[in-house]
Chains A and B, each alone.
Chain A
Amino acid sequence: MEMRGRLKKRKKEYNNLAGFAFISPWLLGFLAFTIIPMIVSFYLSFTKYDILTSPQWVGLRNYYMILFKDTTFRHSIKVTFFFAFVSVPIRLIFALFLAVLFNQKRKFVGLYRTIFYIPSIIGGSVAVAVMWRQLFGSSGALNSLLAVLGLNIRMGWVRNPYTAIWTLILLSAWQFGSPMLIFLAGLKQIPVSLYEAAVIDGANWWQKFGRITLPMLSPVIFFNLIMQLISGFMMFTQSYIITEGGPFDRTLVYIMYLFRRAFSFYEMGYACALAWILLVVIAVITLIVFKTAPHWVYYESKGEF
């Protein structure tokens, strides 16, 4: 009996050690590249720091300047909100539309699903961003296409202050592949019996969609919404390459502004404060979306989330 107890204890110790050994590839990286940088960043956000000279403590000055004096900050917040809250719904509606389209039992749907995912695998690349710039340039394919239709437009959509942001929104909507596949997986989970019962009750397609599909799919919509909003707030590469934040800062998204402060002006402390404010903004928005969930997200088993 005692022998077994000792054996158990030894196994426990062995497991403690083995457990840490196995998770160490994450734990070490987590400490080195997440936790310590976070602490450093938080400290630096209260300093003035240009990398070359040592950081100078300035207290809350950075935060004060950003929140009360910095008009570019306010502007970039506006641009980012506009981008995220316009592009994400468009992307999700499109993804849902295609998911419903490809959830039918027809020839080739498997192939369609695969092919329509392609924009998503290449959409984040520099190659596509560079192509996008030319597509919507003054002598790009869009204007050429419009010319065939008799509309002679000599304007570059990317350079126009009113249309530039829309070229970015379009590119974002174009990458609907992942939410589409997630919606498809969600659609498959909906019991067929629900639709059969609805048909017996004489429901038409729209009623079935509105009363069964949407509510049953709402947890997936919720999940997609949060994930996509966060990535929307992080948009950088496309703006950097396609519009360079311009024209007249019309596409100066938040990360772009942060990048400019940090690596053009070398105001590292200020930029760290910007990063923390962004983190708080994202946390608040996520929280708000979570708070609205009980009003529109339907869970079969209540209370478990």
Chain B
Amino acid sequence: MSFMNSERRKKRLGSVLYHILVLLIGIAMFYPVLWLLSSSFKVEETIFRNSHSLIPWDFTLENYKIGWRGFGGIGFDVFFKNSFIITLISTFGQIFTASATAYGFARIKFKGKAILFALMIATLLLPGQVLMIPQYILFTKLKWIDTFLPLILPRLFAMPFFVFLIYQFIQGIPKELDEAAEIDGCGVYSIFIRIIFPNIKPALITTFIFSFYWTWQDFFGPLLYIQSAGKYPVSLALKLFSDPSSITNWGAMFAMAVLSLLPAFIIFVVFQKHLVEGISTTGMKG
């Protein structure tokens, strides 16, 4: 009896220690995020006084009000609108084109498929930055500088990463479904729309999440292609807002940084289950 007791006590102690350990790591891990959040609610003058403190004793929303006004006469509402335009068009386009391509590779037999598929996989590991100069030259010659086109158009074409992700998912759908539909007189197009598309929702959600993150957070593209402040997306606006030469108010800067993270955070909370599964099964990126 007493043996049972000590055993159980040991187990409980282990459990308590485990959760304490996780908590300590968690605090260290999230300190920067909490610091950013609390700083955004601090009165400007107090942010860098005892700056480690996580509690905004003199809580204020002033930073958000000031920050929202933006700079150069352009408010953050414009920057957010720009980001949403770029991100949503790119992302929904990507969902459609990537799934069509994935279906083509996964289910249709055609000439040259093996070679093309191998080519696509080969470019999975090709870092995009290597191509930035010729692309920049191309977009300059097309006079697309300072428009959203260089940011949106390349993302409307199916990207190997997403094609591969959806391709893997389609492989898991029984072929009998296609065959049954074919007997019922469905062609490849209606099989895609009616059978495949509704059955690959989890992969499409994963595509949505990552495409949204990458496009929303993209800094390199806007840095190269966008010049006038009225067309800045949030990422670029935030960088210029924080430049030592222009910054007058760090509180406002932190407030806008918090807001810029909000969309990604909301998507994460809503879809976190899919996200965690998506990464585990495709094992990619980050």
Contacts and interface: CB of A to CB of B under 8 A. Distances in A.
Interface of A: 12, 15-23, 25-30, 32-34, 36-38, 40-41, 44, 51, 98, 101, 104, 106-108, 112-122, 124-128, 130-135, 139-145, 148, 174-175, 177-179, 181-182, 184-185, 220, 223, 227, 230-231, 233-234, 236-237, 240-241, 255, 258, 262-263, 268, 271-272, 275-276, 278-279, 282, 286
A28 B265 CA distance: 34
Given A30-B157, A101-B21, A268-B137, 12 more contacts: A15-B188, A17-B110, A19-B110, A20-B104, A25-B101, A28-B157, A107-B19, A114-B272, A121-B265, A122-B264, A220-B283, A263-B224
B272 A127 contact: no
Contacts of B152: none
18 contacts: A20-B110, A22-B105, A25-B97, A26-B160, A30-B119, A101-B21, A106-B18, A112-B26, A118-B268, A122-B264, A125-B261, A125-B264, A132-B32, A140-B48, A178-B286, A181-B279, A275-B133, A282-B127
A131 B182 CA distance: 56
B123 A18 contact: no
B270 to A, nearest CB: 12
B217 interface: yes
Given A23-B105, A127-B258, A141 B52 contact: yes
Contacts of A40: 134, 137-138
B178 to A, nearest CB: 13
A37 B140 contact: no
Contact of B51 (A114, A122, A144): A144
B239 A241 contact: yes
A276 B33 CA distance: 38
Contacts of B116: 23, 27
A181 B127 contact: no
B153 to A, nearest CB: 8
A106 to B, nearest CB: 6
| Majority secondary structure, B binding face | helix
A177 B236 CA distance: 25
Nearest to B111: A16
Interface stretch (B2-10, B200-208, B249-257): B249-257
A51 to B, nearest CB: 6
A91 B50 CA distance: 30
Contact of B154 (A17, A29, A272): A29
Contacts of B96: 25
B51 A26 contact: no
Given A114-B272, A237-B219, A26 B101 contact: yes
A182 B280 contact: yes
B183 interface: no
A97 to B, nearest CB: 9
Contacts of A37: 131, 134-135, 138
